[in-house]
A and B are shown apart, each in its own frame.
Chain A
Amino acid sequence: DGGITQSPKYLFRKEGQNVTLSCEQNLNHDAMYWYRQDPGQGLRLIYYSQIVNDFQKGDIAEGYSVSREKKESFPLTVTSAQKNPTAFYLCASSISRGDGEQFFGPGTRLTVL
């Protein structure tokens, strides 16, 4: 089945530790995105990538980093510089950056203790 996978579903980390969230897609999509969602709020764009080895900052990139070494993979690192990292993180992909139909993964809920 084609789709997007994110792992793990739940993640706990101690304050001050970097943590990397996984996102893989087998849809052959060029564009991939990372969003953050806080309780009761909409989604906010962290980073996006339109092609391998290229990525752009979204609205709330501070304290986060990404890489896009393979078309299928777009991992997100939450660094210790992110002041409030506890949130629900969602990865998405689309055929191209210009395509408004995005396919979302199931999300990773990160809790920093």
Chain B
Amino acid sequence: DAKTTQPTSMDCAEGRAANLPCNHSTISGNEYVYWYRQIHSQGPQYIIHGLKNNETNEMASLIITEDRKSSTLILPHATLRDTAVYYCIVRGDNAGNMLTFGGGTRLMVKP
């Protein structure tokens, strides 16, 4: 699976949009981009995933560049409860492929 690069930490003001970038320049054609988050001392939570097209659900939007070498997770109106570590994961669609959690981005939402 392709490697991802994320900033170590980011801050965001409460109520503003949080834009979390992820680079995955070696992604291959059948690999999906997944996003999870982990609130302190809890289990990770699935947020969203996509292949080529932009995706949106009740939690977030995922914007994938046309060349698929990078993506951005957008939390449209960040709240204090969104403070967490956000993991960007690239995973092939083969059933044998596992999720590989790297260091992630620590997002701090501030009042």
A residues near B (Cβ < 8 Å) are 4, 33, 35, 40-45, 48, 58, 88, 90, 92, 96-98, 100-107, 109
Contacts and interface: CB of A to CB of B under 8 A. Distances in A.
B46 A103 contact: yes
A98 B94 contact: yes
Closest 6 CB pairs of A and B: A104-B43, A98-B95, A42-B101, A43-B101, A42-B102, A101-B46
A92 to B, nearest CB: 7
A104 B32 contact: no
Given A45-B98, A97-B95, A90 B43 contact: yes
8 contacts: A42-B102, A44-B101, A97-B95, A97-B96, A100-B97, A101-B46, A101-B49, A102-B46
Nearest to A92: B43
Nearest to A105: B43
A90 B104 CA distance: 17
B53 to A, nearest CB: 16
Given A42-B103, A98-B93, A90 B98 contact: no
Nearest to A96: B95
Q: Is the interface of B mostly helix, strand, loop or mixed?
A: loop
A42 B105 CA distance: 11
Given A42-B87, A42-B103, A100-B34, A58 B45 contact: no
Contact of A100 (B43, B99, B102, B104): B99
Contacts of B95: 96-98
Given A42-B104, A92-B43, A100 B94 contact: no
Contacts of B87: 42
Which interface residue of A35, A58, A100, A106 has the most chain B CB atoms within 10 A? A100
B43 A107 contact: yes
Interface in B70-111: 87, 89, 91, 93-104
Interface string B13-34: 0000000000000000000101
